[in-house]
Chain A
Amino acid sequence: MNEAAQKAFNAGNLAANAAVRARRREVSIDPITRLEGHGKIDIFLDERGEVERAYFQVPELRGFEVFALGRPAEEMPQITSRICGVCPTAHHMASVKCLDHLYGVEVASAGRKIRELVYHAFMLEDHALHVYVLGGPDFIVGPEAPAAERNIVGVIGKVGVEVGKKVIGMRRRLRELIAYFGGKVVHPVLGLPGGVSKGLAKEDLGRFQALAKEGVEFAQFTLQVFKDLVLKNPEYVKLITGEAYTHRTCYMGMVDERNKVNFYDGQLRVVDVEGKELMKFPAERYLEYVAEHVEPWSYMKFTYLKPLGWKGFVEGPGTSIYSVAPLARLNASEGFTTPLAQRAYDEYFTVLGGKPVHHTLANHYARVVEMVYAAERMVELLNDPEITSSEVRRVPTGVPREGVGVVEAPRGTLFHHYRTDERGVITMANMIVATANNAARIAMSVDRAAKGLIHGGKVTEGLLNKVEMAFRAYDPCLGCATHALPGHLPLELRLYNHHHQLVDIIRRD
């Protein structure tokens, strides 16, 4: 080919490419509503209006790990709770467990039970918040309902004011229990190494026992609401089990010695895409099993299984991407220690076609099953005669050095890791929060949902909501995920054309 022809060919090629790019479009959702924290989704369309790729971005970073430096370790349960005002109790507990380990102190038996009691009350009320306020409106009111109705007020309209009052009232009383021990419900103060600051007075036992019993009824009621409104609706079941919301990844959750779900203590168990045990490790060895990957387009880091190495955003056999939170906990365990939760667990896997369940939206169902367990565990703890013991704390005597504390937060496994000098002043703090553990799978879910739902460049509000649902199911807490600068995070969805021109911005806030 002569030089002139070559030039003309190249120019033509460039023009053709430019023309193709010009027809490509991009969509952006900003900000994501009804989740804690803030997020952004950029969707790039090709010339036919099909999705090339959707990116889930976290546009903020906070600095908790760095500004923890120089703080006395015993202040960490209160400082780190400010990472998230929705799940402060989770950070508080992971932090205080980290302090136990740091000081090598055995927790006073009654103190441990009070921590567990507070923790299960928290799990129950937080899950209820998600079911009725944050994630539930998508199902209870419907994913195609107008934005102005897809909220708690819409939920109350659908289930009735009486049910609305029941939900609000139950949450209020559970939160009063947390405040009884923690001083405050948002940012409680009970945790100290070796136990808790305050015990349960005998005269208050009765009302908390009554509350726990009602909690079991409330959780079962919620399970029934879920079955009636969601599982009996074939459209919803189709949506939940559809490919647009399905990913084959590994799953992580904390389990006891019999591999039963445990929110407060135990070992971390990981199962592979077939549901087989892949790893099991104690919290203090987390650095051998999990690692964080950095992408230049998000402030959120992407966690993966370290022994398998970072392989990118891929799923299927051999993937190093894992998921946490209710769906993952049920997959990574072999049931619950309490009878009603066990029954709900068995039914859950029967309805969804066996273990493991890879459907992201099944998180909503798994969350309701966990509510039953949290309430039953509260009853057990309150029936334990030791719960009213006044010996709730042991003063630590060891020299502090290094500690790791892990809990199952409502949104999944939460790691706190501190090093201190001999005075117990922080020299290194590292945290991996639940949403970071889910970050890679969330990114994949958003991409998949966009590809599955957006066709021919047609983007409606209902469609965008369905894309958001892909990640709302994780109940992602981006406040937590960006624990590294003060943050906020609703969602923005941007549609870009193939010239990379922004053609639409849908911001919800």
Chain B
Amino acid sequence: MSKPKVAFYWCASCGGCEETVVDLAEDILGVVEKVEIVLWPVAMDFKYKDIEAMADGSIVATFLNGAIRSTEQAAMARLLRRKSRYMIAYGTCAHLGGIPGLANQYSREQILRFNYEESPSVVNEGGVRPRVRTEEGGHELELPELHEGVRALDQVVEVDYYVPGCPPTPNLTRAAVGALLEGRLPGRGSVLAPDVALCSECPRRESKPVDLAFSGFVRPHQKLLDPGKCFLAQGVVCMGPGTRAGCGGQCIGGNMPCTGCFGPTTRVKDQGAKMLSSLCSNVGPKEEAGIDEVLKGIPDPVGTFYRYGLAKSLLRRKKNV
């Protein structure tokens, strides 16, 4: 019997998800024995045309990481969707848009203007910008156009499963690959991680106050952080209550608060809105001036509550006029 075919692909991503696959460490040798990897750009040489030539549905699973930003990425996602029985959004960017999704707060024009004109290190008196078509010395050169907006994978193609995390942990990855090879998969559309809030597996959960009343928020650099006490109890914003468990509280283990990369549980529609409402309902002062004073400790609500999920959130993106 031939081995099941698996593909890894990356779109708008940083490569961290790929590193996690490599971090399966010794296990990767076991995985390599059990499956046939037909596409893995970061580590192996393959050609697109080989994928195009494959029969539809002949890849058992494609693990696609990264958000979708360009037409080329969207086309590749569609091709792999067609060739694969299961399309798995791997990592936060494919799942929710990820940190690159924060770019949806700004326009393409702003990005181009800063990069090629306003940046203090740029010397560009002629105002040259990269162009879709350039002719130089008789050579015509093309660049893909940049698209407005960053999308999560399921905003482009149907997704069967999600492996959350920025990046996902090797454990979750191993479990996902195992479930796939052994056909032990949950309902289609599931996120392959526990459906409870991070607080439930947090080593500091004992010190989480039942009744929170914030008289002010402290930013992590503003005081020495107690390595054993719930961050919320220290007045530091921690996304744990609005974030899915499964990472084992890694950032907490590094003595820093959760920033929400696993996204919400199924009971929450919008991670940012959920955290915002839960924190705001616990603000001590009840009059406007007092509330404003407390919220000064959160100078960037979008970046704090929608750090990873802006592309998939109710806010989506800035409208470009």
Seen from chain A, the residues whose Cβ lies within 8 Å of a Cβ on chain B are 21, 26, 31, 33-37, 42, 44, 52-53, 55, 57, 59-63, 65-67, 69-72, 74-75, 78-79, 82-86, 88, 99, 103, 129, 133-134, 147-148, 150-153, 156, 161, 164-165, 168-169, 171-172, 175, 179, 181-190, 192-194, 197-198, 286-287, 290-299, 301, 303, 306, 310, 393, 395-396, 417, 423-425, 428, 430, 432, 465, 477, 479, 484-488, 490, 496, 500, 506-509
Closest residue of chain A to B169 (Cβ to Cβ) is: A184
Known contacts: A67-B106, A88-B14, A292-B122. The answer to whether A193 contacts B254 by CB under 8 A is no
Report Cα–Cα, A194/B225, bound state, in Å.
13
Cβ of B255 and Cβ of A296 under 8 Å apart?
no
Cβ of A292 and Cβ of B121 under 8 Å apart?
yes
Cβ of A197 and Cβ of B225 under 8 Å apart?
yes
Closest residue of chain B to A152 (Cβ to Cβ) is: B43
Residues in B whose Cβ lies below 8 Å from that of A169: 25-26
B42 to chain A, nearest CB (A): 7
Known contacts: A44-B139, A79-B99, A485-B69. The answer to whether A61 contacts B146 by CB under 8 A is yes
Residues in B whose Cβ lies below 8 Å from that of A65: 114-115, 119
Pull 10 A–B residue pairs with CB atoms less than 8 Å apart, ordered by A: A74-B220, A82-B99, A86-B15, A99-B221, A134-B42, A148-B45, A152-B43, A187-B167, A193-B221, A301-B115
Partner among B10, B14, B25, B136 whose Cβ is within 8 Å of the Cβ of A171: B25
A197 to chain B, nearest CB (A): 4
Cβ of A71 and Cβ of B303 under 8 Å apart?
yes
Cβ of B46 and Cβ of A33 under 8 Å apart?
yes
Which residues 195-239 of B have a CB within 8 angstroms of A? 219-225, 227
Known contacts: A60-B70, A84-B14, A395-B224. The answer to whether A297 contacts B141 by CB under 8 A is yes
Closest residue of chain B to A310 (Cβ to Cβ) is: B123
Residues in A whose Cβ lies below 8 Å from that of B177: none
Cβ of B114 and Cβ of A66 under 8 Å apart?
yes
Residues in A whose Cβ lies below 8 Å from that of B302: 70
Residues in A whose Cβ lies below 8 Å from that of B116: 294, 301
Interchain residue pairs A-B with the least CB separation, the first 9 = A85-B16, A183-B254, A486-B12, A486-B100, A147-B45, A85-B14, A63-B111, A63-B103, A186-B16
Report Cα–Cα, A311/B102, bound state, in Å.
37
Report Cα–Cα, A503/B221, bound state, in Å.
57
**B93 interface residue per 8 A CB criterion:** yes
Cβ of A294 and Cβ of B124 under 8 Å apart?
yes
Residues in A whose Cβ lies below 8 Å from that of B72: 59
Report Cα–Cα, A52/B32, bound state, in Å.
42
Known: A193-B221, A479-B14. 4 other contacts (CB 8 A): A67-B103, A103-B221, A197-B255, A306-B123
Partner among A31, A42, A194, A506 whose Cβ is within 8 Å of the Cβ of B139: A42
A365 to chain B, nearest CB (A): 22
Seen from chain B, the residues whose Cβ lies within 8 Å of a Cβ on chain A are 9-20, 22-23, 25-26, 28-29, 32, 39, 41-49, 66-67, 69-70, 72-73, 93, 98-100, 102-103, 105-106, 110-112, 114-116, 119-124, 128-131, 134, 136-141, 143-144, 146, 150, 166-167, 219-225, 227, 250-256, 259, 299-300, 302-303
Cβ of B222 and Cβ of A395 under 8 Å apart?
yes
B137 to chain A, nearest CB (A): 7
Residues in B whose Cβ lies below 8 Å from that of A183: 250-256
Residues in A whose Cβ lies below 8 Å from that of B29: 156, 161, 164-165, 168
Report Cα–Cα, A258/B221, bound state, in Å.
34
Known contacts: A179-B250, A189-B254, A292-B123. The answer to whether A486 contacts B115 by CB under 8 A is no
Determine which residue in B19, B122, B131 has the highest number of CB atoms from chain A within 10 A of its CB, and name it: B19
Partner among B13, B227, B251, B300 whose Cβ is within 8 Å of the Cβ of A486: B13
Report Cα–Cα, A214/B134, bound state, in Å.
52
A474 to chain B, nearest CB (A): 16
Cβ of A485 and Cβ of B103 under 8 Å apart?
yes
Determine which residue in B26, B166, B219, B303 has the highest number of CB atoms from chain A within 10 A of its CB, and name it: B303
Cβ of A61 and Cβ of B254 under 8 Å apart?
no
Report Cα–Cα, A454/B138, bound state, in Å.
20
Known contacts: A70-B303, A198-B255, A425-B300. The answer to whether A396 contacts B124 by CB under 8 A is no
A181 to chain B, nearest CB (A): 7
How many A-B residue pairs have C-beta atoms within 8 angstroms? Tell me.
Answer: 299
Report Cα–Cα, A27/B100, bound state, in Å.
32
Residues in A whose Cβ lies below 8 Å from that of B16: 82, 84-86, 88, 186-187
Known contacts: A85-B16, A86-B15. The answer to whether A52 contacts B139 by CB under 8 A is yes
Report Cα–Cα, A168/B99, bound state, in Å.
29
B239 to chain A, nearest CB (A): 12
Cβ of B250 and Cβ of A184 under 8 Å apart?
yes
Partner among A61, A85, A430, A486 whose Cβ is within 8 Å of the Cβ of B18: A85
A396 to chain B, nearest CB (A): 6
A446 to chain B, nearest CB (A): 14
Closest residue of chain A to B18 (Cβ to Cβ) is: A85
Known contacts: A183-B254, A295-B130, A509-B41. The answer to whether A486 contacts B102 by CB under 8 A is no
Cβ of B42 and Cβ of A62 under 8 Å apart?
no
Cβ of A69 and Cβ of B49 under 8 Å apart?
no
B75 to chain A, nearest CB (A): 13
Report Cα–Cα, A477/B10, bound state, in Å.
14
Closest residue of chain A to B166 (Cβ to Cβ) is: A187
Known contacts: A291-B122, A395-B224. The answer to whether A486 contacts B139 by CB under 8 A is no
Cβ of A294 and Cβ of B130 under 8 Å apart?
yes
Known contacts: A72-B300, A299-B130. The answer to whether A181 contacts B254 by CB under 8 A is yes
Report Cα–Cα, A21/B49, bound state, in Å.
29
Residues in B whose Cβ lies below 8 Å from that of A103: 221
Cβ of A430 and Cβ of B45 under 8 Å apart?
no
Closest residue of chain A to B221 (Cβ to Cβ) is: A74
Report Cα–Cα, A71/B130, bound state, in Å.
28
Cβ of B254 and Cβ of A393 under 8 Å apart?
no
Cβ of B12 and Cβ of A487 under 8 Å apart?
yes
B131 to chain A, nearest CB (A): 5
